Amino acid sequence: MCSIEKRMRGGGAGDIATLPGEGRTCQILLGVAHAGLGNSKNAIRQLLQEEQEILAQPIDFDWYRLLFLEWGLSNAHLMQGDLSNARFRAAKFVERAQATDEMCWCALAWEMSSRIAMLGEEDDLALNSIMRAIDTVESRHVPLAAWRVYHTAATIYAKRGDMAQAHKYAERFSLAHQSLIESLPEQHQSRHTLGGLHLDITSA
């Protein structure tokens, strides 16, 4: 991680200079990378610092970077089991996504909200949020988010004891998941990563 941080922060005489927007994107990616490695505390610190800089001195396309940032923050708080802050960031995520035409992010924002509500035992809110996510991926054709949305939908319905709906969305997850894998080049690393993802609705 140290080498990744050095590269992204741009320290050293031999580093290639980056534009401000590129630098900000790298800082957000660094925060998300921390979360992916399980370093949720570092992820939150990194992403909050970048949010402060963006809000203090906005530049072009920061509105888009903030969508990625909110996704990362929501996930990091969720990893910590901090449902209060996760819920707060997810609400901002939905608000920011809904203000754009970025349907993939809109679907992911509603999916995030549904997951947090499910973990907080807010069953009706979880169902309402995931239905909004489903409507987005199906009415606007958003394959990059569909597999994640269907995965969460199947889990929510299984938790509610509605196994007919759970199996329906588990099947849609399998189809969307496999379709996404097959769309990637043969040697693409994400084929292996995605291939290792499974859905077990019996344990929901």
111 is written with which tokens?
């999916």
Query: Residues 99-133: pLDDT tens digits?
Result: 999 999 999 999 999 999 999 999 999 999 999 99
What is the 8-class DSSP label of residue 203?
G
Angle subtended by helix axes 20-36 and 40-56, to nearest 10: 160
User: Across all residues in the chain, what is the average pLDDT?
Assistant: 91
Is pLDDT of 14 > 50?
no
8 A C-beta contact, residue 156 and residue 111: no
The Cα angle at residue 190 between residues 186 and 196, in degrees rounded to 5 = 105
Is pLDDT of 82 > 50?
yes
166 is written with which tokens?
């759970």
Place of tokens 């084929």: 191
